[in-house]
Amino acid sequence: MLLDGRKVARELKASLKEKIAKLNNKPHLVVVLVGSDPASLTYVNSKKRQAEQVGMASSIIKLPESTSTETLLETVKNLNQDDSVHGILVQLPLPKQIDTNRVIEAIDIHKDVDGLHPLNVGLLRNDRPYFIPCTPKGVMRIFEYYDIELEGKNALVIGRSQLIGKPIASLLLKENATVTQAHSKTKNIQQLIENNDIIIVAVGHKAMIKKDMLNEHHIVIDVGIHEDGETLVGDVEKASYDKVKAITPVPGGVGPMTIASLLENTYIAYLRKEGLDETSI
């Protein structure tokens, strides 16, 4: 079975659009882009376009590649203080001269729709999430949409990035899965795959997980995305799609959920700022 992230994202965005239409004002997402990396520019434009599709206001602030940490901190500070801004996203990665940690820690946690501020990281780790990082949040929504039981299941997360691997592990643990976190220093990956029911692959290497490493009981989430000639491919070999029990395809799996979750987080930020009931989500 293919886990259709495009469909889940479409439904989520349709629901957000309806709710946003009833608000007095538009939630406003600001994306800050430093430099002119083509991939980053594509992502940022896509975020703006989709935000507008659901009825949000959206701005992009473009800063030159040579921007200093201090200048970027000043930009973030201004956005923090701007009452018309509900969500701030600083597109990563940042140029080398910028202290990324300082920039992320400067974002007002009430506007940290990317969920990367260490206070948000700590609250998530303590099972009291405030903003959940977008891709992990999207993955959990796919599980929920397809009614995939997590409690008591053995889940293997391959990869331990701050953006993906670690927050997904925290969320799976919160749902009572038994969670193993593997990474580049892990020695027995094949045995771990065999011993687990759910495999989250977030390694960032094209088709690294091969068909013969997986079996027909596995539920697989492929967070990778790589160009492959005219198309895209994930961290999992496409040949495995008809072998496993269920998998998120690339393209059309996790990818579309990331921006949908970002929009949802921005909507939540708006509700909180206005003192509105966020349980209505």
- Binds its own copies (CB under 8 A): choice among 39, 83, 96, 185: 185
Tell me whether residue 7 or residue 183 sits nearer to its own copies (CB atom): 183
Three-state SS across the chain?
A: CECCHHHHHHHHHHHHHHHHHCCCCCCEEEEEEECCCHHHHHHHHHHHHHHHHCCCEEEEEEECCCCCHHHHHHHHHHHHHCCCCCEEEECCCCCCCCCHHHHHHHCCHHHCCCCCCHHHHHHHHCCCCCCCCHHHHHHHHHHHHCCCCCCCCEEEEECCCCCCHHHHHHHHHHCCCEEEEECCCCCCHHHHHHHCCEEEECCCCCCCECHHHCCCCCEEEECCCEEECCEEECCECHHHHHCCCEECCCCCCCHHHHHHHHHHHHHHHHHHHCCCCHHHC
Residue 47 is a catalytic residue: yes
211 counts as catalytic: no
- Pick 21 or 119: Cβ nearer its own copies: 119
Catalytic residue among 26, 47, 48, 137: 47
Q: Minimum Å distance from CB 118 to its own copies?
A: 3
**Residue with Cβ nearer its own copies (40 or 178):** 178
Give how many residues touch its own copies by CB under 8 A: 34
Q: How far is the CB of 12 from its own copies (least distance, A)?
A: 27
From 28-36, 149-157, 243-251, 270-278, span contacting its own copies (CB under 8 A): 149-157
Q: Which of 117, 137, 141, 218 binds its own copies (CB under 8 A)?
A: 117
Is residue 137 near its own copies by the rule CB under 8 A?
no
Using rule CB under 8 A, residue 190 touches its own copies: no
Footprint of its own copies on 196-215 (CB under 8 A): none
Q: Is 166 in the site for its own copies (CB under 8 A)?
A: yes
The catalytically annotated residue of 48, 111, 112, 114 is 114
Q: Figure out which of the listed residues 42, 66, 84, 188 binds its own copies, where binding follows CB under 8 A.
A: 188
Residues with a known catalytic role = 47, 91, 114
